[in-house]
Homo-oligomer: A and B are copies of this chain.
Amino acid sequence: MQSLCDMIRDRAVAYNLWYDAESDQSVAWKNERQKMRKGQQTRQDIIRKAAPIFNQHGYEGAALSDLMKATGLEKGGIYRHFESKQQLAAEAFDYAWELAVDRRFAGTPEIPNTVDRLKQLVRNFEDRRSGLVPGGCPLLNTAIDSDDGNPQLREKARRALSSWLESLQSIIEEGQERGEIRRDIDSSELATLIISTLEGSLMLSRLQRKEDACALACDHLEEHLETSVRANKSRSRVKK
């Protein structure tokens, strides 16, 4: 029969063994998690630093040497985190587009009147450009860049456009239900017109290196929203 002392010693040994095992596992898990977290951080860092290169120079123009210089990594260091240049470009687009959407919709959900909300969206396009990925609108750039090739990137741009159109359409339809927007307006057509005018003016502004075209497009759309989109009832309510 075991003495109490032996039992206590055995328990202590067993406990320590168990504790050590758990501790080892914990450390291994922690290390693994830290490694994953660091890997994720490096991945995000690569995307953030690659995004301006793709947005400024396009897919073909984004040279590996530029990506290496921007990230401070060797080719292997970059492609450990991405299957291909295609995948990196796609994630760089998502990152740049998310920032653009964030700025363009900033401060709009809290505007109760839908016409005023659309006017703010138009105004944001011109005003809220700080903090964006340099190189202009990622949608415009990627749409033109991938137009006759690169179907994966083209699909990214197409989905981004669809989602932007749907967001505007949903505001317009909300406005129609609430009697703020004329019922005879086609929500899809108005959304298309707004985005066409803004994006085209951005091309001109960037080519001329002056804001005039963008400012004009915003003024024109604001006037259009006020005179041809806002329902009379809503206009008179605002005037009060």
Across the interface, which residues of B come within 8 angstroms of A198, CB to CB? 200
When the two chains form the complex, which single residue of B60, B149, B161, B216 contacts A204, counting CB atoms closer than 8 Å? B161
When the two chains form the complex, which single residue of B57, B147, B200, B217 contacts A135, counting CB atoms closer than 8 Å? B147
A213 touches B200 (CB 8 A): no
Across the interface, which residues of B come within 8 angstroms of A148, CB to CB? 56-57, 134-135
B143 touches A206 (CB 8 A): yes
- Of A37-45, A81-89, A112-120, A188-196, the one contacting chain B is A188-196
When the two chains form the complex, which single residue of B158, B161, B203, B208 contacts A199, counting CB atoms closer than 8 Å? B203
- A199–B206 CA distance with the chains assembled, in angstroms: 13
Residue of B nearest to A186 (CB): B216
A207 touches B158 (CB 8 A): yes
Secondary structure type dominating chain A contacts? helix
CB proximity of A93 to chain B, nearest CB, Å: 13
Most B Cβ at <10 Å: residue of A58, A149, A217: A58
B206 touches A193 (CB 8 A): no
Across the interface, which residues of B come within 8 angstroms of A27, CB to CB? none
CB proximity of A201 to chain B, nearest CB, Å: 4
When the two chains form the complex, which single residue of B161, B189, B200, B201 contacts A207, counting CB atoms closer than 8 Å? B161
B136 touches A147 (CB 8 A): yes
CB proximity of A144 to chain B, nearest CB, Å: 4
Q: Can you list, as one digit per residue, whether each of A128-149 has a CB less than 8 Å from chain B (1) or not (0)?
A: 0000001110001101110111
A203 touches B200 (CB 8 A): yes
CB proximity of A184 to chain B, nearest CB, Å: 14
CB proximity of A143 to chain B, nearest CB, Å: 5
Please tell me if A168 contacts chain B, counting CB pairs below 8 Å.
no
A144 touches B200 (CB 8 A): no
Binding site for B on A (CB under 8 A): 56-61, 134-136, 140-141, 143-145, 147-149, 154, 157-158, 161, 189, 192-193, 195-204, 206-208, 212-213, 216-217, 220
New A-B pairs, 8, CB < 8 Å, besides A141-B147, A189-B216, A195-B200: A57-B149, A58-B61, A58-B145, A134-B148, A144-B145, A147-B207, A195-B204, A197-B217
What are 30 A-to-B residue pairs whose CB atoms are below 8 Å?
A57-B148, A59-B61, A60-B60, A61-B61, A135-B147, A136-B147, A140-B203, A143-B207, A144-B203, A147-B206, A147-B207, A154-B207, A157-B207, A158-B207, A158-B208, A161-B204, A161-B207, A161-B208, A192-B201, A192-B212, A193-B217, A193-B220, A195-B204, A196-B200, A196-B204, A196-B213, A197-B200, A199-B203, A199-B204, A200-B203
